[in-house]
Structure 1
Amino acid sequence: MTETAALRTAPLRARAEIDLAALRANVRTLRALAPGAALMSVVKSDAYGHGAVRCARAAVEAGAQWLGTATPEEALVLRAAGLDGVRIMCWLWTPGGPWREAIEADLDVSVSGMWALREVTEAAGQAGAAARVQLKADTGLGRNGCQPGEDWAELVGEALRAQAAGLIRVTGLWSHFACADEPGHPSVAAQLARFREMVAYAETQGVRPEVRHIANSPATLTLPDSHFDLVRTGIATYGISPSPELGSPADFGLRPVMTLSASLALVKHVPGGHGVSYGHSYTTPGETTLGLVPLGYADGIPRHASGAGPVLVGGKWRTVAGRIAMDQFVVDLGGDEPEPGAEAVLFGPGDRGEPTAEDWAQAAGTIAYEIVTRIGTRVPRVYRDASL
């Protein structure tokens, strides 16, 4: 096991333990679910809070042929870390972005509109190298992506002219589902049909993409017809089901990668009727013991889970008592007296009876994606099985 270097000699207030062996196993499982497609492990937002560089390396070791990020800055960090033998794609651009740096780092960049095509071709001329460009189609999500019809025809035509001039290579055609995590939603079939139409148009005009892709984690798990040449797995890489309605992680052969825990900072006796935390939204029903957990919303613990978030202490589930504060919250220990420094597990795979990220999502009225992604930089990542 390796830990954050500066903290190796001191006890940790809290830790997010990242099981890289589980991540590798998840990647292998996902590859087996889409055997005819390449796999992109999405490591945006610091690998959904798990640590982008370490997770990217583990994913590549397990056979991921592509890495995906949202921003170009995230992708450039991966290249700077030495991840050179793998394709890297980034898709969230704004005007004036680091196009030339992306071209020189041999990244695949996404283009959804004419302004982006103009900027990337200008940067390619400055760099003296062709940019690897993937054209994104809006098939119904209504976010990024080029609209079908005249807009798509214009973008494809201009991209082909830029390719003929040696400024770009159109390496991919892609899109993104809106409701793949909702089984049977009519938009899924509609988007798939629209994607096929937009790909077919581009190919009849002369585009010869290396990859065509639309499948995210839920589509990879449940929609084989959407796999095309590449699947993009984000949350599933980290062992979290994209939707409880689709099944649990175990149902798909996945294992959660992150375990979040802290050391109790204080255990004390209090009488009945004792107010706990800001606003006294919780008062003790009788004489009891309280445990102080040194994590709060500044660390990414959702304040919306006040009075509801589950924690395992001493082999028992406890519930957040009162409001979650910036740096700490309290659990009612019901008279139990663990020692200060005892472990409080907020979530993990569930093997020891601890809550999962999905349990916290339910408590906070959100999704497990948000629970793991929001864990802040004040919580050190501790990597298990960091090498093969």
Structure 2
Amino acid sequence: MKSAARAEIVVDLAAVRHNVHTLRELTGVAMMTVVKADGYGHGMVPTARAAREAGAEWLGVATLDEALELRAAGDTGRILCWLYVPGEEYDAGVAADLDLTAYTPAELDEIEEAVGDTGRTARVQLKIDTGLSRGGSSPAAWPALVERARAGELAGHWKVTGIWSHLSSSDEPDDPANDAQETAFRAALAVAEAAGLEPEVRHLANSAAAILRPSSRFDLVRCGIASYGLDPAPGETPDLGLVPAMTARATLALVKDVAAGDAVSYGRTWIADAPTTLGLVPVGYGDGVPRRAGNSAEALVAGRRRPTRGRICMDQLLVDLGGEHPAPGDDVELFGSGRDGGPTAQDWAEAADTISYEIVTRIGSGRMPRRYVDSDRPDLSEVAPA
């Protein structure tokens, strides 16, 4: 008997390559494909390989663990990471020839210790906080960080390979914060230049800015969500032909009739006002499906978009089949490219009052296995754990 997958995530690596290539051609500068958080739920190593095939000169991750996993998988190119705590294993990062971000002189002190331990010269990038008020040096502390970085460079401990920052509001191109942050970034670059630093790359733009704000591209752009085919600024982004790489699907488990007045799921938040049929889909918030999307999201079943009914449960959700009786075992598409008329991750984001980043990252970190396909290479089909 054929065994059907209860549910799975299907990732088209050709879509990732297409998106990275499209963004590279648009921006005309070096490309960093951001593959943190397990490739935004798409799988870090396979999507990183696809990005490299499309010409991405850099990969970006948050943590040292992520960067070291890429090295262990055979990636030998440039990798930037940027999120640490005191006492991190900088030795491993220096030994693996990673580009390490520093926010403070204290982090440079720890990197210097790792240089002494490993006997290797480090690669360091400095991050300036230009208005996000998150990671990075404050403008007041920036001159001291630059001075410390230059002294370490002259001593041969490291090469300062980059200076960068991150925008708070690039998905809202008319927000004056964008101008203010770019101005602050340019001022920080001038301080670094006056101190004698000559970084290889200066970078500010994330996906939305890379597309919408050419002045922010500098030497390198960091594209995360757009690399996976999702819109970084819904309602603002021109149609670039980006292709969503992830499809989340399941197998219809049960079809049942309900009468008018029957309540559906926990809390009785939806009550049938007429007889209908319900389809039981064996995925829920334990798989990363957002609970808040109950009664508002849709799924594609038997060629039609069907509304969810009632609260989404830990392991299952219900859709209204409108009196039709598709067969148990039929395919259910929660979201995908949208080309077949089905919902997209952006549709689910709007239903759950969140962003598409969260939809794909959460479902990609749940218990649904991933299957990789390549629409340019149909012979490839690989199953990997979620």
CA RMSD of aligned residues (A): 1.2
The residue that corresponds to 1:330 in the other structure is 318
1:97 pairs with one of 68, 88, 97: 88
For the pair 1:160 / 2:150, whether they are aligned, the reply is yes
2:277, 2:320 within 8 Å by CA — same for their partners in 1? yes
* CA distance in structure 1 between the aligned counterparts of 2:300 and 2:4, rounded to whole angstroms: 20
Q: The residue matched to 1:374 in structure 2 has which SS?
A: helix
For the pair 1:81 / 2:78, whether they are aligned, the reply is no
Amino acid at match of 2:296: A
Amino acid at match of 2:5: L
The residue that corresponds to 1:6 in the other structure is none
1:289, 1:332 within 8 Å by CA — same for their partners in 2? yes
- TM normalised by structure 2 equals 0.95
Q: The residue matched to 2:100 in structure 1 has which SS?
A: strand
Number of residue pairs matched by the alignment:
375
* CA distance in structure 2 between the aligned counterparts of 1:113 and 1:261, rounded to whole angstroms: 45
2:253, 2:281 within 8 Å by CA — same for their partners in 1? yes
Q: The residue matched to 1:360 in structure 2 has which SS?
A: helix
Runs of 5+ consecutive residues of structure 1 not aligned to the other structure: 1-8
Structure 1 residue 287: deviation in Å? 1.8
The residue that corresponds to 2:134 in the other structure is 143
For the pair 1:23 / 2:16, whether they are aligned, the reply is yes
- TM normalised by structure 1 equals 0.94
Deviations 1:44-99 (A, max 9, x none): 00010000000000000010000000111111100000011x10010111111121
The residue that corresponds to 1:14 in the other structure is 7
What aligned pairs does 1:228-243 form with structure 2 within 5 A after superposition?
A: 228-243=218-233
1:356 pairs with one of 344, 347, 359: 344
The residue that corresponds to 1:38 in the other structure is 30
* CA distance in structure 2 between the aligned counterparts of 1:210 and 1:386, rounded to whole angstroms: 36
* CA distance in structure 2 between the aligned counterparts of 1:381 and 1:20, rounded to whole angstroms: 12
The residue that corresponds to 2:384 in the other structure is none
1:221, 1:252 within 8 Å by CA — same for their partners in 2? no
Structure 1 residue 387: deviation in Å? 7.8
The residue that corresponds to 1:274 in the other structure is 262
Amino acid at match of 2:367: R
Structure 1 residue 319: deviation in Å? 1.0
Structure 1 residue 104: deviation in Å? 0.6
What aligned pairs does 1:165-204 form with structure 2 within 5 A after superposition?
A: 165-204=155-194
The residue that corresponds to 1:205 in the other structure is 195
* CA distance in structure 1 between the aligned counterparts of 2:54 and 2:156, rounded to whole angstroms: 35
The residue that corresponds to 2:206 in the other structure is 216
* CA distance in structure 2 between the aligned counterparts of 1:380 and 1:332, rounded to whole angstroms: 26
For the pair 1:365 / 2:333, whether they are aligned, the reply is no
Deviations 1:194-242 (A, max 9, x none): 1111011101111011100001000100111111111000000000011
Q: The residue matched to 2:343 in structure 1 has which SS?
A: coil
Deviations 1:1-24 (A, max 9, x none): xxxxxxxx8421111111111111
* CA distance in structure 1 between the aligned counterparts of 2:22 and 2:212, rounded to whole angstroms: 13
- Aligned sequence identity (%): 53
Amino acid at match of 2:107: A
Assess, with a 3 A threshold, how the Cα gap between structure 1 residues 160 and 386 changes in structure 2: closer, same or farther.
farther
Deviations 1:99-146 (A, max 9, x none): 110111111011011221111111111111111100000111110010
1:319 pairs with one of 298, 304, 307: 307
Structure 1 residue 288: deviation in Å? 1.6
